[in-house]
Amino acid sequence: MIVAIDGPAGAGKSTVARMVADSRGWTYIDTGAMYRAVTLLALEQDIALDDEEELGQLAGNAEIGFKPGSEGVPRVFAGCREVTADIRRQDVTHSVSQVSAHPEVRRAMLEKQRRLLESGDTVVDGRDIGTVVCPGADVKIYLTATVAERAGRRRLELEEKGDAISQEQMEREIRERDEYDSSRRVAPLKAADDAVVIDTTEMNIDQVVAAVTEIIDKAQEGAAG
Ligand code: DC
């Protein structure tokens, strides 16, 4: 079974996807981490963020892989180098929307993502999974929340890593990223017509996991019966 979880930054996709996959012993694929890995390599190799051809080649040649880590958090690799921590750097976060908007980059990632999805029961999160990467997914969920709530969650995450940022600045960054991800020409962020939309603004993570679990259970019952 393939469970697609899409939504904007800070909606809780990766935490929920990870917990759901972990509880069932399924594979979890974080497609945002793949775009982040390409962006990290581009920054390190001084490739201009508007050079679609170079970025497309880089994305095509990058060997991005996952290995299980502690508490279900996947370790991310570019070739044999582990990039799990580096892809969460602020400079990567600031550049990833621009890199991921290039059609050539998306084409290369799409191929890799579809290959990864061949491995069986999987929970996969991103922006375009239910619409483009896997339109035939068995379950499609679109998680969202208000900008203020998502900014608050991201700030907490950063604080835990020792980075402080004001609520105002974080809201501005989230809005910018939403705008970039939703308005790009190819595979923009949007809910698939047949996705179940869950607004998580007033929910804690356990409530969201319970809601998603119920949807998957129903889909499995439907498939079995
Ligand atoms: O989920 P995240 O914040 O780690 O994603 C980083 C960026 O990658 C996000 O701003 C948009 C892009 N992305 C995408 O374009 N398509 C996906 N399927 C996943 C992420």
Dump pLDDT digits (tens) for 159-187. Answer: 988 888 999 999 999 999 899 889 988 88
What digits encode the pLDDT tens for the residues 83-107?
A: 999 999 999 999 999 999 999 999 9
Q: How far is CA 116 from CA 108, 152, 176, 199, in A?
A: 13, 32, 30, 28
- Classify domain 1-26+121-225 at the CATH superfamily level: P-loop containing nucleotide triphosphate hydrolases (3.40.50.300)
- Ligand 1 pocket test, candidate residues 6, 31, 93, 128, most atoms within 8 A of CB: 31
Mean pLDDT, rounded, for 120-130: 96
Q: How much is the mean pLDDT over the chain?
A: 95
Fold observed for domain 31-119: Rossmann fold (3.40.50)
Give 15 Cα–ligand 1 centroid separation in angstroms. 14
103-130 average pLDDT score:
96
Q: What is the pLDDT of residue 184?
A: 87
Give residue 32 CA to ligand 1 midpoint distance, Å: 4
Domains 1-26+121-225 and 31-119 share a fold: yes
Closest C-alpha to ligand 1, atom 20: 32
DSSP string, 24-63: HT-EEEEHHHHHHHHHHHHHHTT--TT-HHHHHHHHHH--
